[in-house]
């Protein structure tokens, strides 16, 4: 007993020490590659940190994880609050782990610093998935800029894949610019919608419907079944009016009930079908390569802007210039030239 107690005391102290001290890059990377959730969580914390030592360490871990080739599917899931995203992800995730998949659930929510995590913050909404050893759930990183939040999430994807998660679900709220960011980091983009309440006739944020590879009408249960059917017809018709995607894929419109577990399997079949077709015609890998390039150029451009707008001389003159331009006192182009001169001095 005494010996046992000592051993467990030693173990506890070891664990405490591990938690206090920052493990080496080597240890964290190996931990991730062996599928250790604690190592994965800690490395993600490094990614999210603003401390430059942490950033350096995070970058090394990412570079090593990048070398680790995996077959994963990255799925973006968007929809306005109330559409039932959490319930859908819980049900969808459980189906996938039951089939032997390892599922990571991430989120991009730039508003989370303000709202203290409006999505995925409350893990209790995914009770079963949280307890699932083949699922890993991480709320949105906080951050004032969408660029920062998106970057962190995108880097986290790399670590999750290296840790063996082969399905990455990335949740976002359908109300801002974050969809474009998520759309640029996933293989398949899912738009959740509600039938009824006139929702199929309005409220679609411009451009989001055009990004969707599938639209899923959720809460197609009880009184809603008929409305969902009607909504499917409406959306199918609307999608036909849009230009075909470059890969020839025609976005699918499905109906499901996450609550009553109806139609969830169809969603997964649609996605695997999409992946099969696009792997065959090489579009899948091409899209990922284009996304990599997109993030390189996008990061450069974001940083250039950030440097400009945080320049002291620019800051002092920007509002004056905006006011002059708004009131037609000067041309936008002349004003821009002046501010650019201030910046390059």
Q: Which residues bind a copy of itself (CB under 8 A)?
A: 59, 62-63, 66-67, 69, 151, 154-155, 158, 200-207, 209-210, 234-235, 237-238, 240-244, 289, 292-296, 299-301, 303-305, 307-308, 321-322, 325-337, 339-340, 344
Cα 133–Cα 137–Cα 138 angle in degrees, nearest 5: 145
> CA-CA distance, 320 to 305, in Å (whole number)?
18
The smaller minimum CB distance to a copy of itself, of residues 256 and 321, is found at 321
| Cα-Cα-Cα-Cα dihedral sign, residues 310, 312, 315, 318 | negative
Burial of 240-255, coded b for 16+ CB within 10 Å and e otherwise, reads eeeeeeeeebebbbbb
To a copy of itself, the closest distance from the beta carbon of 149 in angstroms equals 13
CB 230 within 8 A of CB 224: no
To a copy of itself, the closest distance from the beta carbon of 199 in angstroms equals 11
The smaller minimum CB distance to a copy of itself, of residues 275 and 318, is found at 318
The smaller minimum CB distance to a copy of itself, of residues 34 and 334, is found at 334
The smaller minimum CB distance to a copy of itself, of residues 7 and 300, is found at 300
The smaller minimum CB distance to a copy of itself, of residues 86 and 291, is found at 291
To a copy of itself, the closest distance from the beta carbon of 336 in angstroms equals 4
The smaller minimum CB distance to a copy of itself, of residues 90 and 155, is found at 155
To a copy of itself, the closest distance from the beta carbon of 219 in angstroms equals 19
The smaller minimum CB distance to a copy of itself, of residues 254 and 339, is found at 339
To a copy of itself, the closest distance from the beta carbon of 207 in angstroms equals 6
> CA-CA distance, 112 to 121, in Å (whole number)?
8
To a copy of itself, the closest distance from the beta carbon of 281 in angstroms equals 18
To a copy of itself, the closest distance from the beta carbon of 192 in angstroms equals 16
CB 136 within 8 A of CB 73: no
To a copy of itself, the closest distance from the beta carbon of 297 in angstroms equals 8
The smaller minimum CB distance to a copy of itself, of residues 128 and 337, is found at 337
To a copy of itself, the closest distance from the beta carbon of 122 in angstroms equals 28
- Nearest partner of 174 among 235, 231, 118, judged by Cα: 118
> CA-CA distance, 195 to 217, in Å (whole number)?
6
The smaller minimum CB distance to a copy of itself, of residues 234 and 266, is found at 234
């Amino acid at each position: 007993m005494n010996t046992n107690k000592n051993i467990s005391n030693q173990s506890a102290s070891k664990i405490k020490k591990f938690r206090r001290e920052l493990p080496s890059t080597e240890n964290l990377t190996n931990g991730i590659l062996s599928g250790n959730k604690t190592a994965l969580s800690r490395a993600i914390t490094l990614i999210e940190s603003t401390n430059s030592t942490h950033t350096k360490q995070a970058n090394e871990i990412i570079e090593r994880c990048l070398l680790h080739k995996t077959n994963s599917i990255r799925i973006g899931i968007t929809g306005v609050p109330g559409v039932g995203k959490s319930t859908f992800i819980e049900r969808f995730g459980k189906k996938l782990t039951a089939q032997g998949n390892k599922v990571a659930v991430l989120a991009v929510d730039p508003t989370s610093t303000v709202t203290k995590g409006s999505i995925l913050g409350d893990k209790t909404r995914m009770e079963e998935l949280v307890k699932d050893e083949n699922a890993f759930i991480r709320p949105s990183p906080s951050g004032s800029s969408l660029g920062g939040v998106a970057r962190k999430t995108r880097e986290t994807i790399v670590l999750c894949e290296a840790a063996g998660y082969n399905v990455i679900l990335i949740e976002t709220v359908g109300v801002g610019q974050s969809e474009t960011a998520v759309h640029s980091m996933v293989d398949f983009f899912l738009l959740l919608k509600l039938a009824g309440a006139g929702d199929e006739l309005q409220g679609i944020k411009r451009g989001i419907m055009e990004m969707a590879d599938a639209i899923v009408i959720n809460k197609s249960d009880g009184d809603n079944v008929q409305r969902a059917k009607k909504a499917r017809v409406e959306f199918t018709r609307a999608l036909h009016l849009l230009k075909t995607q470059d890969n020839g894929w025609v976005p699918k419109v499905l109906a499901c009930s996450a609550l009553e577990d109806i139609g969830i399997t169809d969603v997964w079949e649609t996605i695997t079908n999409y992946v099969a077709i696009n792997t065959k015609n090489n579009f899948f890998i091409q899209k990922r390569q284009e996304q990599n390039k997109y993030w390189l150029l996008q990061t450069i451009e974001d940083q250039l802007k950030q440097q400009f707008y945080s320049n002291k001389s620019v800051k002092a003159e920007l509002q004056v210039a905006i006011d002059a331009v708004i009131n037609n006192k000067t041309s936008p182009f002349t004003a821009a030239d002046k501010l650019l001169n201030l910046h390059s001095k």
